[in-house]
């Protein structure tokens, strides 16, 4: 941070590298699309580095810029609400999505890699259906690894509220994912057919 104040480009790039994942997940917790979340993060960086002299070393830089990102997201949401109608970037549909290889990729994704991609898409789609207040806390805790105390501090919320929102987010996610998986959780670890008959025979 001290180097960034001296307009050291390498320091600015390093701060961005360290904070990108955290700020994007926080922004995505409030914004309805990846594209809008990315714009919020960019706005937050511009605001933070433009007013870096306002940062007080007594606080954590990550907390300070997190609050800036939250404010940037809130401002964008207010503008969108005032307009009533606005365009959003359509994200890829979960079902029937094709795997796109990056230029230069020589081989098709393995079954394991494809499975991971499909699982991530399923989870992202489910998280995207959460209300923004639940989605934000969930992403900060589960995706960014922040403690409940850190989340309460960064969002200026009582610890009990953070715990409640995280619990509600997990319950809703379970229902959403269960509904999306054909047959739900009751279909996992099946023990039927020949296995069931074999068990009966042995007993």
| List of domains in the chain | 2-83 (1.10.1740.10), 111-188 (1.10.10.10)
Smallest Cα–Cα separation from 136: which of 160, 157, 165, 158?
165
Q: What is the pLDDT of residues 9-35, one digit of tens each?
A: 999 999 999 999 889 988 988 888 888
- Tell me the pLDDT band of 95, cut-offs 50, 70 and 90: very low
Q: What share of the chain is helix, strand, coil (3-state, %, to 5)?
A: 70, 0, 30
What confidence tens digit (pLDDT) does each residue in 72-81 have?
A: 998 888 887 7
DSSP 67-84: HHHHHHHHHHHHHHHHHS
Cβ–Cβ under 8 Å, residues 155 and 162: yes
Question: pLDDT by residue (tens digit) across 119-158?
Answer: 888 888 888 889 989 999 998 898 888 899 999 988 889 9
Q: Is the pTM of this model over 0.75?
A: no
């Amino acid at each position: 941070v001290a180097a960034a104040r001296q307009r050291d480009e390498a320091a600015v790039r390093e701060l961005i590298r360290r904070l990108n994942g955290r700020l994007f997940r926080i922004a995505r917790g409030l914004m309805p699309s990846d594209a809008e979340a990315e714009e919020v993060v960019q706005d937050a960086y511009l605001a933070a580095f433009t007013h870096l002299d306002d940062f007080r070393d007594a606080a954590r830089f990550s907390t300070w810029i997190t609050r800036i990102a939250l404010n940037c997201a809130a401002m964008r949401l207010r503008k969108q609400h005032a307009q009533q109608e606005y365009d959003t970037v359509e994200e890829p549909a979960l079902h029937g999505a094709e795997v796109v290889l990056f230029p230069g990729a020589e081989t098709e994704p393995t079954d394991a890699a494809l499975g991971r991609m499909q699982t991530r898409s399923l989870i992202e789609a489910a998280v995207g259906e959460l209300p923004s207040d639940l989605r934000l806390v969930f992403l900060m805790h589960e995706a960014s690894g922040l403690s409940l105390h850190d989340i309460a501090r960064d969002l200026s919320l009582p610890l009990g509220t953070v715990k409640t929102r995280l619990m509600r987010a997990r319950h809703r996610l379970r229902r959403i994912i269960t509904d999306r998986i054909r047959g739900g959780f009751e279909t996992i670890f099946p023990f039927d057919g020949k296995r069931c008959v074999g068990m009966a025979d042995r007993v």
